[in-house]
Amino acid sequence: MSQIANISSKFSTAGLRDKTRGDKVIWAIVVVLSLVSLLVVYSATNSLAYKLYKGNTYVYLFKQIAFISLGIIIVYFAHRVNYTIYSRVAKMLFYISIVLLIYTLFFGTKINDGSRWIKLPIINLTVQTSDIAKLALFMYLSRLLSKKQHVIKDFKKGFIPMMIPIVVICGLIAPANLSTALLTGATSMLLLFIGRVSFKHIALVAATVAIPVIILIAIAGAYYDKEEGKMKELPAVLSAGRVPTWIKRVQDFMYAAKGEAPYQVQQAKIAVAKGGLFGLGPGNSEQRNFLPHPYSDYIYAIIIEEYGIIGAAFIVFIYMVFLFRSIRLFRKCPYAFGAFLALALSFTLVIQAMTNMAVNVGLFPVTGVTLPLVSMGGSSFLFTCLSIGIILSVARNVEDAEGKAENVKEELA
């Protein structure tokens, strides 16, 4: 009986390995961050759930379990798809994302003068269309980079065709979500640099983007009342859309030491200060009762408060390992499209994570980006899982190619 049990366990293990192919370290990272997410989201939403649901503190925990379960299913099925299919649908998905972004700007759900979401009928789920657009953009850029390597240094034939989709997508995202547009643009330029695009062309883009950023900083300084510690009244030309929000966030970051820092920044700093080296312990956060969005935008501050600098450093380490494994995958992938796609998706997730953490500790102006795979579930969480599934699809195909090469060597030997 024991022999039968051992044989069945071997078969089940082999079956599981066969079904979950690809980089095992990335799979482990998905599991670890999902577990961290469950712990921290439950802690961060404990008080909120108690107030809203008459003492039931498990509502958001069960919701997060559902999102994580769905996310892992998405990772699994995405990694089983041959990544070359994404190259075939990249162009169509890119055009669809443009339509969705335009629709969102005019007819989407408006929050704080910004329209970022559309609501899906029947399931009643709000989707941030910029997530779709980022995924489509990186698929399309990876396809272009793989096809234009022979003219990659040429300004008209190589550089311009790749800059057009970047400008279009970032330009449509920017009115409602400037931080996401800037991060998407920065990730795109990093991908172009790795794709051997001429450095002088990339430097030209960086200089062009720096002009409006410098102007925004100058306007923020000119319309800040240092005596009152607040923003002066803006002229009509600077009061359209989310421009006042951009100016206010720059002012808050520039003059926080001289004036009063924004409420959420103050509470995040208190959480970080309370955390110390080892933290207050799991579930013992005090700032969750005061910090806005402790389960999404400011979840890293809760991690520091409960797990200290050691816990915070562990999260940084996990994302760095993920980036390292993705770079390793880029170097091993025999086909350009898969290599560029895996690298682009990993870069955007890690850059988003670093931005979220920098905001939480006061090193970056306030943005609305979440911590990938850790912040409470939503459409962004599911698209993160889809991105990781695509990365694992590339890893699975690399693994298969290496396995075939080993078999050929054994046959020749």
- Each residue's pLDDT tens digit, 23-79: 899 999 999 999 999 999 999 998 888 888 877 888 999 999 999 999 999 999 999
pTM above 0.85, yes or no: yes
What residues have CB less than 8 Å from 133, skipping those under 6 apart?
97, 98, 100, 101, 169, 172, 173, 184
Q: Where are the domains of the chain?
A: 25-412
| Average pLDDT in the chain | 86
**How long is the chain?**
413
Question: Whole-angstrom Cα distance, residue 250 to residue 313?
Answer: 27
| pLDDT for the residue numbered 10 | 46
- Average of pLDDT values for 125-144? 91
Question: Whole-angstrom Cα distance, residue 104 to residue 323?
Answer: 32
- Each residue's pLDDT tens digit, 162-221: 999 999 999 999 988 888 999 999 999 999 999 999 999 999 999 999 999 999 999 988
Residues 70, 76, 80, 83: is their CA dihedral positive or negative? positive
Give the bridge partners for 119, in sequence order: 126
Residue 366 main-chain phi, psi, to 5 deg: -60, 130
- Each residue's pLDDT tens digit, 336-362: 899 999 999 999 999 999 999 999 998
| pLDDT for the residue numbered 273 | 93
- Average of pLDDT values for 233-252? 85
| pLDDT for the residue numbered 377 | 76
Question: Is 259 a residue whose pLDDT tops 60?
Answer: no
